[in-house]
Structure formats: C-alpha cells, structure tokens
Structure 1
Amino acid sequence: MKMIVEFWNSHSESIIGIGYKALLCVAILFASTLVAKGVRRSINKANDRFEKLDATLVPILCATATYVVYIIGGVFILDIFGVNTTSIIALLGAAGIAVGLALKDTLSNIAAGVMLLFLRPFRSGDFVEIGSVMGSVREINLFTTILETFDGLYISSPNSVIWGNSVKNYTRNGKRRMDIVIGIAYSDSIDTGLDVLKRIAVEEPRFLQDPAPETMVVSLAESSVNLQLRGWTTIGDYWQTCWDLNKRVKEEIEKAGLTIPFPQRSVHVVANPGTAEAAEAGA
C-alpha cells in the first residue's frame, strides 16, 4: 500500500494528465460517431425532401462524409498527445504511395466509380446493358456497381469493368422505338398489308405522335415480303405494347385474307443418266 501511495505521489500529475487525455480521446471518438451519423442522416433527409440527388450518389456522399469526420477526429486525438501531425502527414503520404501501388486495382475501381458518378451514363433505376450483362441499376458504391437482372439475379460488377465497357442505356431517353416485322406471301397485295399496319398504328393509343408511326416494306426475303410497323412509346409502355402488337398484327393480317408463309425450299431431283441405263440393262 505504501508503494502505491509513493508511486501516486511521485507520478500523480502524469497519471492525471494521461487519464485526462484518454477521456478526451474517448469523448472525441464518441462525438465523431455522433457527428458522422448526424451527417449521414442529414444527407438522407435532404435528399428525401428535395429529391435533387441521384440515388446512386447518396451512398457515396454518406461514406465520404463519414471518413472525413473520422479523419478530423483522428487529427484532434494526435494533437492532444502532442504528435507532430506534419511528420505524420508526410509518413502517410509515403505509405499511401506504397499502398496505392499494391492496391492499384482497388484504386482503379474507386476512380472509375467517381467518373461514373461525375459523367452519369446511368442513374439508379435505369435499365442498362454493359458488355454481356443486362439489368436495372440498384446502387453505385466506391468499388462496385450493383445490378438486378430481369429474373431477379443480383450482379455486383467492379466499377473498372463498367467504365471499360460500352454502356447501352435503355431508359435514359424516356422513349423507345419498336419494330414489328410481319411477312406476307409474294402473291399477296403489299398495299393491303401496309393498310392493315397503318390502321393498327392509328388505333394504338400508346404510340407517340412525335415521332409519328411508320409502315414500310423492309425486305424481300426468300419466302416472304417483310413489312414493318415502327412506332415510339414511353419506356413504361414499351414491352406491353410490343407484346400486344405482335399478337394483333398476326390476327389482323390473317383477317385481311393475307398469308403468313413458312420458309420454303424447292427441291428438283435429277436422275443420273448412267444409273438409268444400268437399270434398263438389268431389266
């Protein structure tokens, strides 16, 4: 007991100082956590209220704000213990170069994610085709882009792969053109077929009038004359309109007395003269 008292008497100021600094560090960490949560909550509330930010940008802003708050808190903690932050920054810079070389692929994903968010080739909810993958964009984070396919599959693709491929965005322009192709027989009237398609185009309320629908003879195929109906719809109406028109075009073409031919081949059998003479000699 006497040793403890003597130790306290001789080191009390140092112990109190260290304890005070430790409490300050804990308080700073706790405050940093609260501030980071508050900043994330504020970003989400501001986005919900004004709806000015793309949903893909919100996770990036939240993560960046959190890192900044904790870095500032760490600087305060180092300053409390009297650490020369200038030397630390220089050391971190050198270490950053080494880590950057070791993690160049990871850093390339981050850089690609920043470029995707800056140039905005797609937004959350857009339906895109990237390379061999098609799906709806769910999220862009620092490292990956999250897609969901038609059949509900989850796809996580590195941002560098997305950035290095051509992006086909089916949603961005707000409208799409559908091409309905139907073949009629060569003996059928082309004008009658075109009249059927024009009537369908006029009666379809989901077609946009600008650009206006068009009908044309698109090709002379081997077994049929191919007619085409082109029309524009909004993105939301595209697929249902396409499915409905494929059914209706077939029914209306047949109702008009026109024929939808099957692929045909004419085969001519020519007997070998030598084989015929041999057969006659044997007889």
Structure 2
Amino acid sequence: MFSTDSLLAQTLSFMPLLITLLIVAIVLWIANYLLIVKKADAGSEKLFSRQLIMLALTLVALLATVFALPVSESSRNQIIGLIGLVISGIFAFSSSTIFANLLAGIMLRMTKPFKTGDFVQVGDFFGRVVERGLLDTEVQTEVRDLVALPNTFMITNPITVTRTSGTIISTSLSLGYDIHNSKIEPLLIQAATNCELSDPFVHIVELGDFSVTYKISGKLEEVKSLISSRTRLNREVLNVLHENAIEIMSPSFMNQRKIPDEIKIIPPKQQVSNESNNSTVDQVIFDKAEEAEQKEQLLEQLKAQLIELNEQLKLAEDSQKDSLKSQIQDLTQKIKSFNNTEDEKKS
C-alpha cells in the first residue's frame, strides 16, 4: 500500500507536466484559431506565413512538454535526441513527402522568381499565377482551368516568367523563293506595327528545300493582353500580305482543279472587325488570376498608405494628431472590411 505522503509526492511531481500541458493546449488552440481558423478562407497565399508560425509553435510546445516530464536528466536528453532523430529522418526522406513541398515553398518565397498575376511557363504548363501556397502554386491556364503545381515541381523545372515591363511576341510563316525578301520584310514590319508592337524586327529562320521561313517579332508593352495580341499579330500578317497580293502557300501545293498559273490563291478582302472580341479574351481566360493580382495590389497600396500615415503621426504636431489618428482608424477599418468582403465571397 502506498502511503498518503508517497502518493501526494508522486502527484506533485506530475503537476509541472499537467500545468505545461494545459498552457500548451490553450496557447496552441488560441494560435490555431487566430492564425488558421479565423482566416480559413483567405487562401493559401495569405496562410503561408501563418502556417509556418503554427508549425514553429507546435515544435516549441513539444519541447516544452518534454522539459516538463518528471524524468531524470539523462532520460530527458534521450527523448530530445529521439525527437531530433525523428525530425532528421523526416527531412532526410522528404524528397517524396509533404515536407519536400514545404521546403520548396520556403525556397520559392526566398528566391521570389515570380509573383501573383505573372505569366509563367513551367514544363508543359503555361498560365498566370493565382496563389503561392505552402505546398503548391496555383496557375490559371489558357483554357481558364486552375492547375495546382506542387512546389517541388516548380523548383525542379525551369520557370519562364513573362516580364511585366514587356515581352517579345512573334509568329513564323513560309513563303516561296519567287518572292524577294526585300519585299516581304517591310510588309511584316507593317503587320507588327499595326498590332502596336514596338521595335519590330524580322528574322530569316530557315532556307528550306521549297520555301523560306520568316519570323516577325515585336515588343508587347501590355503583357496582360498576351493571348489576344498573338492572335492579332497572326491576323495582321495574313491581311497585310493578302492586301499586297502575296500568296501564303507552300510551293509544293497541289490542287485537284486546274488553275492557271497567273491566278493566285488569295481570298478577297473583307470588311470584318474582330477587335471587339479580343478586348476581353484575356480577361475571360485569366479572370481569377487578374482578380488575385488586383486584390494584392490594392491591399499593398492601402498598407503603404497606412505606414505613411503612421510615420506622419510620429512627426506631427499636437494639433494635427487627431486628424491623422482619424485617418489611420478609417484606413484600418477599410482594410479590415476589404478582407472580410473577400472572405465572404469565397465562403
């Protein structure tokens, strides 16, 4: 039989552990509610840093629990060593687990090869970035679908990012040797100019057995219209060459009908305008990416204004502080209302 004093001593020895577990449970519950649950609809882009903080708090809580165990110093060191071994094993085998994507996500945040709204080409996938998450990156493709690419895929494949300051778009076509290049190149330059491309230039890509391959390129300043601008360039090339009686057809073309040599296969000019459709093509395809970029830019502008007002408050005179405090309060409420509105849209 245990004596009352012995039982009380054993109970008291577990009190630090019980108190630690209680504190750890309360802290983790509050942190999880404030960082994750309350912002569950904010998207993986915003939750990235919060999830990292929650992971760090969990590791700290685990260590605090170990230190509170009523065991000898040597046993406690063995437990800590075991935990370190397990964590090391997880990272060692992380190439095929969720931790690989976690580390890849951290790497992408450090190197910052792209941002929300950018056009990216990764492997066979092309589109605009919607969200940069903890474990994956969401990209909206040319057919408006959303593709979640694992972060390990993003760091193991070359990433081509379209520069927001402008990019080069081009198209290629083959023409016969019977047309001199001095006649072709000005017309292709004209087609690129009609598309409002700056600094257009022409390359003679290949001298084939039956035809010459030309490539017309130019700088597109507004990259958000990338898809429609490529289509427009192809259409302008067709229109300009046909209007100047240049046949776009392989010299090896053979038709079942007998056509005199002096007749060229050129469709008659039509008064058709397709510009109205192209104006919204890119917005329809990349609607979610466009919305995510605009939201991020707006939040950055509001936060920058808030920082500027706080700096002004520090240097302001007493007569100006009340007005600045009112502006700061209104701007803070505006940011909060904006976030709440976006969360309601997603829920």
TM-score, length basis structure 1? 0.65
Q: Give the letter for the 2:189 counterpart.
A: K
Match of 1:124 in 2: 116
Asked if 1:31 is matched to 2:42, the reply is: no
Q: Distance in 1 between the 2:138 and 2:35 partners? A: 24
Q: Which one-letter code corresponds to 1:120 in the other structure?
A: K
Give the length in aligned residue pairs.
Answer: 246
Alignment of 1:112 onto 2:104: yes
Letter in 1 for 2:108: L
Distance 1:58 1:26 in 2: 29
Where do residues 205-244 of structure 1 align in structure 2 (5 Å cutoff)? 205=196, 207-208=197-198, 212-215=199-202, 217-234=204-221, 235-244=223-232
Are the equivalent residues in 2 in contact too, given 1:147–1:156 (CA < 8 A)? yes
* 2:194 maps to 1:198: no
Higher Cα radius of gyration: 1
Q: For residues 1-283 of structure 1, what are the structure 2 equivalents within 5 Å?
A: 22=18, 25-38=21-34, 58-80=46-68, 82=70, 86-101=77-92, 103=94, 105-106=96-97, 107-169=99-161, 171-172=162-163, 174-188=165-179, 190-205=181-196, 207-208=197-198, 212-215=199-202, 217-234=204-221, 235-264=223-252
> 3-state SS of the aligned residue for 1:243?
helix
Q: How many Å apart are 1:56 and its aligned residue?
A: 7.5
Offset, 1:243? 0.9
Q: In 2, distance between residues paired with 1:98 and 1:261? A: 63
Deviation at 1:182, TM superposition (A): 4.0
Q: Structure 2: 5+ residue runs without aligned partners?
A: 255-347
Q: Which residue matches 1:51?
A: none
For residue 170 of structure 2, give the secondary structure of its aligned residue in structure 1: strand
Confirm or deny: 8 A CA contact 1:122 1:172 kept in the other structure: no
SS in 2 for 1:213: strand
Q: Distance in 2 between matches of 1:137 and 1:246?
A: 26
Quickly say closer, same or farther: Cα 1:142–1:217, change in 2 above 3 A.
closer
Residue type matched to 1:118 in 2?
M
Contact 2:201 / 2:218 at 8 angstroms: preserved in 1? yes
How far apart in 2 are the matches of 1:101 and 1:92?
Answer: 14
Quote how far apart the aligned CAs of 1:240 are: 1.5
Question: Structure 1, unaligned stretches of length 5 or more?
Answer: 1-6, 49-54, 267-283
In 2, Cα distance between equivalents of 1:103 and 1:217: 49
Separation in 2, partners of 1:202, 1:157: 37
Q: Are residues 132 and 100 of structure 1, via their aligned partners in 2, closer, same or farther at CA, if it must alter by over 3 Å?
A: same
1:54-81 CA-partner distances (Å, limit 9, x unpaired): x987443211101222333344445555
